[in-house]
Amino acid sequence: MRCSTWVWTALVLSLAPCLCPARGLNAADLYRALAQDWPTYSGDYSGRHYSTLSQVNRANVKHLSLAWVRRLPVSHDHVNDTVPTIVGGEVANPVPFGGPGADGARVAGAILELHGILYVSAPDHAWAVDARTGRVLWHYFWKSKGGTHIGNRGMAMHGNRLYFEVPDDYLIALDAATGKELWHTAIADFDQQYFSTMAPVVVDNHLIIGTGNDMDAPGFLKSIDPITGKDQWTWWSTPHNKGDPGSETWPDEDSMRHGGGNVWIPGAFDPETRLYYFGTGNPNPVMSAGSRVGDNLYTSSLVALHVDTGKMAWYYQTAPHDTHDMDAAQTPILIDGKFNGKPRKLLLNGNRHGYFFVLDRLTGEHLLTTPFSSSANWASGLNARGAPIGDPKKDAQVGGVLVSPSDPGIANWPPATFSPRTGLYYLQANESYSEYYLTDTDPRNAQGFGGVQEDMLGSLGRSVKAIDYMTGKIVWQVDYPLSYAVGGGLPGLLSTAGDLLFGADAAGNLVARDVANGRPLWHTMLGPVSNAPETYELDGRQYILIAATDTLYAFALN
């Protein structure tokens, strides 16, 4: 006899009452320094992807061993009811995506950990997992209408509610204890080819969400009420009408209303100023730019918004008139430190296009720009605000032109990290090249990526780099062997108070390095590592958590 899903849910939770998140996550908890848990996308609001845990450290990391491993279930037909499965969606027959090993089941984003439970997401899927043993407590599946299933960046939590975006442009609210759907609401118009991958961010009574689009629709960032799902404010990445701020950087209303700038990566938040900092995506058309002469604000920019109103405090454009998909969609890192001998509140950004920026996060004042790539050749210099100036000779040509970086960038969206113990900013880099061909000389025909053909040629190599934020100089760099695979980007990084830097190399090894010099201290081969490492502590034991496609691995000291 088969028991119902809800009977199994009650049974699972009754057998493990200590796993029930009775008090959930109070929004005020996110203001505290990151310690035992990992309650939001970057761990805390700073975006540093840094943990104060130090039980695992330089001296003992060689004793790190596997605590548990779990492959996540993706079946939604109740064949295995030992894992309660909740099914949602607005269509009877979902468009088939995912499955073991496919992108639809790939864990690429952040995993939340709170009160001994992991909350994991992939496109159309969410799971609750026992953080001590890896046992799956429940599985939620969304029946998708379709859309681009490129990935999912993670979940957010408010009280006992979980939130995540699905590719066909809905935000889902779940009960954290059972996985039961509480409500869902549309984020954007699916018919305009938006797709949604961003990890939401909770700030008090604001739930901040965004979306992506590879066609010619306007980008936006939105705040909604985490209880009701009702809109609070929307900030558009491009102006809509002549005379709007930034409209002077577009040739006409039509181009800016279809200008892109999508917000698809979570930002960082400063509780003192109540400013939310994030990066915007590329302008559209992406590479055939003849129809959008000008700087194209506020695309490819770092932006600071007042979180309670959605009003812009300042912006800094990292790639004016971007013609190579060199957007600013990386989570900014906020630090308090010295610059030129004076205390400053700073924002750090290692951009996709190969340049490192330091800004004053109170005003947006530019302080430093330096290249961290030896291959990047798309820019001819810096403008008066310290932003790279795109070289017109590197725009797509009928006969082709060699450009670095290729479309995935030198450093794409996976998290960089900052260690306050070293004062260094760490990122993974890929010195990639592509040939760009102009396939349609009439810009009126270009939409999205249309009008240009990119042929990716390969890479001069991949590496992990440590950058001194005060000077922009590379303090150390570890190059991965060229014999390693030469695909897209590399997963993100984690630094800890144990003076360790965790990340995957280009061959699929999870590696622990000395933050001071990059020397490898421990490694294990996992294969296709797909997200940035995280860490948490339970019962006095520190765990290192990583995903490889649809499988979770947790390590602890033996």
Structure tokens at 537: 């502590």
User: Which residue, among 146, 161, 58, has the nearest Cα to 96 in the 3D structure?
Assistant: 146
> What pLDDT is recorded for position 76?
73
Round to whole Å and give the CA distance between 532 and 107: 10
Cβ–Cβ under 8 Å, residues 481 and 365: no
Using 50, 70 and 90 to split pLDDT, how confident is the model at 27? confident
Beta bridge partners of 236: 220
Using CB atoms within 10 A of its CB, is residue 48 exposed (0-12), middle (13-18) or buried (19+)?
buried
Structure tokens at 177: 């204890």
Using 50, 70 and 90 to split pLDDT, how confident is the model at 441? confident
Q: Is the model's pLDDT at 3 over the cut of 60? A: no
Structure tokens at 331: 């989570």
Sequence letter at residue 182: L
Round to whole Å and give the CA distance between 269 and 334: 8
| 28 CB-near residues (< 8 Å, 6+ apart) | none
Round to whole Å and give the CA distance between 182 and 199: 18
Query: 492 phi and psi, to 5 degrees?
Result: -80, -175
> What pLDDT is recorded for position 437?
96
Beta bridge partners of 503: 493, 511
Round to whole Å and give the CA distance between 103 and 120: 15
Q: Is the model's pLDDT at 395 over the cut of 80? A: yes
> For tokens 């009574």, what's the residue?
205
Round to whole Å and give the CA distance between 239 and 298: 8
Q: Where does 199-474 sit in CATH, by number?
A: 2.140.10.10
Q: Is the model's pLDDT at 213 over the cut of 90? A: no
Residue 399: CB atoms within 10 A of its CB come to: 7
User: Which residue, among 58, 70, 36, has the nearest Cα to 542 in the 3D structure?
Assistant: 36
User: Catalytic residue at 216?
Assistant: no
Using 50, 70 and 90 to split pLDDT, how confident is the model at 556? very high
Write the DSSP symbol of residue 13: H
- Which of the listed ranges 16-25, 283-292, 370-379 does the model predict with the highest average pLDDT? 370-379
Rounded alpha-carbon distances, angstroms, from residue 340 to 125, 344, 358, 368, 469: 47, 9, 12, 11, 11
Residue 246: CB atoms within 10 A of its CB come to: 22
> What pLDDT is recorded for position 483?
59
Sequence letter at residue 270: D
| CA distance between the termini of the chain | 42
User: Which residue, among 130, 133, 134, 178, has the nearest Cα to 9 in the 3D structure?
Assistant: 178
What percent of the chain is predicted at pLDDT more than 90? 80
* CA 308 from centroid of its chain's CA atoms: 23
> What pLDDT is recorded for position 16?
41
Residue 227: CB atoms within 10 A of its CB come to: 14
pLDDT tens-place string over residues 325-350: 999 999 999 999 999 999 999 999 99
> What pLDDT is recorded for position 263?
97
Greater confidence, 216 or 57?
Answer: 57
pLDDT tens-place string over residues 462-479: 999 999 999 999 999 999
Rounded alpha-carbon distances, angstroms, from residue 181 to 202, 211, 554: 19, 21, 28
The lowest-confidence range among 4-13, 16-25, 366-375, 487-496 is 4-13
User: Which residue, among 9, 170, 151, has the nearest Cα to 532 in the 3D structure?
Assistant: 151
How many CA atoms are closer than 13 Å to the CA of 296, on its beta-carbon side? 34
Using a cut of 0.85, tell me whether the model's pTM lies above it: yes
Q: Is the model's pLDDT at 390 over the cut of 60? A: yes
pLDDT tens-place string over residues 232-271: 999 999 999 999 999 999 999 999 999 999 999 999 999 9
Using 50, 70 and 90 to split pLDDT, how confident is the model at 444? confident
Using 50, 70 and 90 to split pLDDT, how confident is the model at 442? confident
Element (H, E) at 15: helix 5-15
Structure tokens at 355: 């340049």
Cβ–Cβ under 8 Å, residues 510 and 65: no
> For tokens 């029946």, what's the residue?
143
Using CB atoms within 10 A of its CB, is residue 231 exposed (0-12), middle (13-18) or buried (19+)?
exposed
Using 50, 70 and 90 to split pLDDT, how confident is the model at 6? very low
Q: Which of 325, 395, 407, 550 is catalytic?
A: 325
Q: Is the model's pLDDT at 413 over the cut of 60? A: yes
User: Which residue, among 370, 366, 368, has the nearest Cα to 354 in the 3D structure?
Assistant: 370
> What pLDDT is recorded for position 99?
47
Sequence letter at residue 436: Y
Element (H, E) at 516: none
Q: Is the model's pLDDT at 11 over the cut of 70? A: no
pLDDT tens-place string over residues 45-103: 999 999 999 999 999 999 999 999 999 998 876 555 688 999 999 998 888 765 444 44
Q: Return mean pLDDT, the chain.
A: 91
How many CA atoms are closer than 13 Å to the CA of 437, on its beta-carbon side? 7
User: Which residue, among 548, 465, 533, 546, has the nearest Cα to 502 in the 3D structure?
Assistant: 533
Using 50, 70 and 90 to split pLDDT, how confident is the model at 9? very low
Q: Is the model's pLDDT at 364 over the cut of 90? A: yes
Domain boundaries, the chain: 199-474
Cβ–Cβ under 8 Å, residues 232 and 247: no
Q: Is the model's pLDDT at 1 over the cut of 80? A: no
Round to whole Å and give the CA distance between 47 and 361: 13
Q: What average pLDDT does the segment 500-529 reach?
A: 96
Q: Where are the alpha helices (DSSP H) in 19-72?
A: none
Round to whole Å and give the CA distance between 164 and 108: 13
User: Which residue, among 325, 384, 386, has the nearest Cα to 355 in the 3D structure?
Assistant: 386
